Chains A and B, each alone.
Chain A
């Protein structure tokens, strides 16, 4: 097949389709992954004994279990106990669970790095425990966690490719299909690699800008 034709008629449209799915996966996962991550971090740090150990267990399990195995459980495993999820939903759910586990570790690390004096000062002003957490601890912690969180976001972009393993045809899935059909493996995978590189590089750059924008003088590390 003519290379130009292959590129313009086959590869680019396929990757475009895939890109849309990848972006959907990431966009649906990220906010919930962050929220759940904050919840887990707070539960781990400030929860009672039971909640705290439950959160610790959550982190151990979802950080230790390979994401691809988690997706298999959600998509191939859950039906055996009567829960059947569409592939896309299973993928997003798996990504959220996993992403939250990693995010929570960054947020907890940031919470731990906040100086005692900040909390003492808030309490001296008469803030309740929750007020202190919500208006003093979290805003500082999340800012400090931004480098880690954005790193996880970039990981999420790359790991969204695993959705293909449970039949969600996103970027790498499209590439695989085209590659197999036209026997153009190197071309298709290099092309999709470039798309991922572009996504990752643009995101890194955007995150960098965001970090600069949200920086507070003297508070960076």
Chain B
């Protein structure tokens, strides 16, 4: 068998793995966003104890290797507290919780880079603080956060492969399966690498499209 035959035979299986990887990454990004934004708001506007708790969360999740986090939650914490989830969900959750720590710092930087005067002006018009955050501060800071996402996406994408270690059947796991079935080691690994790289480019292209779509003249040039 040559590599072309193998790719024809196993290509769809690998592509399926790429789709699972994409699902894993998308879930992780979504979880990271849903938790990261409140964390950022808490860190900017919260009381001292809230800020301290969030800072500790961020410190913990950013300080541990993804492999250790996956092991810790999959073998340790989740079973202990009685959460019994399939590996895929554990992977998405752990990548997502860690993503929340990173994303919260992206959002925080963006929020803090908005000049004080924007909030002052909003309040002077009679907006409540929450109204001002929602309709003035967040629309601006989310725009400024997008460039930060161009670091976040590739990182989560490449880290998603580490979920192999807890048995998530994603692209790398399927790649290893194909390798052990076909003994075509290097070519199959290379094919997987190309798929990861293409996924990377596709995501970056999408982020850039969104950035162009929501761009505002003269705004965000000083991006964070």
Contacts and interface: CB of A to CB of B under 8 A. Distances in A.
On whether the two chains bind one another, the answer is yes
Interface of A: 60-61, 63-70, 72-73, 76-81, 158-162, 164-165, 172, 175-176, 179, 185-190, 192-193, 196-197, 200-201
B64 A179 contact: no
Given A175-B68, A186-B76, A189-B71, A69 B186 contact: no
21 contacts: A61-B193, A63-B200, A64-B200, A66-B172, A68-B164, A69-B175, A70-B193, A73-B186, A77-B186, A79-B185, A161-B65, A161-B67, A165-B165, A172-B68, A185-B72, A189-B68, A189-B76, A192-B68, A193-B63, A196-B65, A197-B64
A66 B68 contact: no
A176 B166 CA distance: 12
Interface of B: 59-60, 62-69, 71-72, 75-77, 79-80, 154, 157-162, 164-165, 172, 175-176, 179, 183, 185-186, 189-190, 192-193, 196-197, 200-201
A217 to B, nearest CB: 23
B192 to A, nearest CB: 6
Nearest to B176: A72
Interface centre among A61, A64, A67, A197 (most CB of B within 10 A): A64
A72 B180 CA distance: 13
Given A66-B172, A76-B179, A164-B67, 6 more contacts: A64-B196, A66-B196, A68-B165, A69-B196, A78-B186, A165-B162
Given A66-B161, A69-B161, A76-B179, A200 B76 contact: no
Contacts of B185: 76-77, 79-80
B189 A68 contact: no
Interface centre among A66, A76, A80, A159 (most CB of B within 10 A): A66
B172 A193 contact: no
A58 to B, nearest CB: 12
A66 B79 CA distance: 28
Contacts of A165: 67, 162, 164-165
A73 B176 CA distance: 11
Contacts of B196: 64-66, 69
B186 A162 contact: no
Nearest to A193: B64
A60 B197 contact: yes
B167 to A, nearest CB: 13
Contacts of B189: 69, 72-73, 76-77
Nearest to B159: A66
B59 A197 contact: yes
Nearest to B193: A65
Contacts of A158: 63-66
